[in-house]
Amino acid sequence: MSEPAPPQAPASPPGSTGTGPGRVLVAVYALFALAASARAGVQIATKFGNAPVAYVLSAFAGAVYILATVTLAVGSPAARRIAVISCSVEFAGVLAVGTWSLADPASFPDATVWSGYGSGYGFVPLVLPVFGLLWLRRWSRRPATRHAGAAAGDAGAAAGEASAVAAGAGAGSDPRRRRNRVRSARPARDAE
């Protein structure tokens, strides 16, 4: 007599915004977090008097990028809410600093990450928060697809029960053993 296979944990949909294409988004955010923070740190440490506003804004941009990187990578519901806030602040900052740097170039003797709408970085700072917010919006609609995934898991558990019944339904099998096999398969479905 073969031992029934232990119930397997159902495959659940990934719970993090840092999976799939989100990994690329997290990687780009991490790159900008490192670049903006390191640049601001060096500028503040070596020549703060030259352009204090620009260097403080670069440090702020670096902090926003770090926060966005971490919250997008974690992807929990609370982290996603914080990520929406950080991406929104980032987008507002790019627009405000970009406009300010073009309207009053004298205020920015040295460029920030967000100067000229991120022109020094190929306008990536301008489009990055848009992609971040779109990705987060996609994840805000995920609960409906999770229920569909749970239904698929229930169907898989039902199929497992059916195969357990079929395996025990051979000629000369004891009906009590079939019931025991079905009972042992049920807790896996109920645990979902």
C-alpha separations of 129 from 68, 78, 92, 134, 162 in Å = 9, 18, 9, 8, 49
In terms of domains, do 117 and 171 share one?
no
In terms of domains, do 129 and 172 share one?
no
**Tokens representing residue 161 in the block:** 């029960």
Tens digit of each residue's pLDDT (9 = 90 or more) over 97-144: 999 999 999 888 888 899 999 998 899 999 999 999 999 988 776 554
Count structural domains, the chain.
Answer: 2
In terms of domains, do 125 and 104 share one?
yes
In terms of domains, do 155 and 110 share one?
no
Is residue 16, in this structure, part of any structural domain at all? Answer: no
In terms of domains, do 136 and 151 share one?
no
In terms of domains, do 180 and 131 share one?
no
pLDDT above 60: residue 9: no
pLDDT at 43: 92
pLDDT at 6: 54
In terms of domains, do 91 and 175 share one?
no
pLDDT at 157: 46
Q: What residue spans of the chain are helical by DSSP H?
A: 22-47, 52-74, 77-103, 124-140, 142-168, 175-190
pTM, rounded to two decimals:
0.65
Interval 144-168 mean pLDDT: 44
Q: How far apart are CA 108 and CA 100, in angstroms?
A: 9
b vs e for 121-137, b when ≥16 Cβ sit within 10 Å of the residue's Cβ?
beeebbebbebbbebbe
In terms of domains, do 184 and 172 share one?
yes
pLDDT at 108: 87
Is residue 43, in this structure, part of any structural domain at all? Answer: yes
Closest CA to 166 of 181, 186, 154: 181
Domain encompassing residue 94: 22-140
In terms of domains, do 131 and 181 share one?
no
In terms of domains, do 75 and 131 share one?
yes
Tens digit of each residue's pLDDT (9 = 90 or more) over 51-108: 899 999 999 999 999 999 999 999 888 999 999 999 999 999 999 999 999 999 988 8
Closest CA to 26 of 66, 77, 81: 66
Q: Residue 151 — very low, low, confident or very high, per pLDDT cuts 50/70/90?
A: very low
In terms of domains, do 51 and 70 share one?
yes
In terms of domains, do 132 and 111 share one?
yes
Contact present, 124 and 118 (Cβ < 8 Å): yes
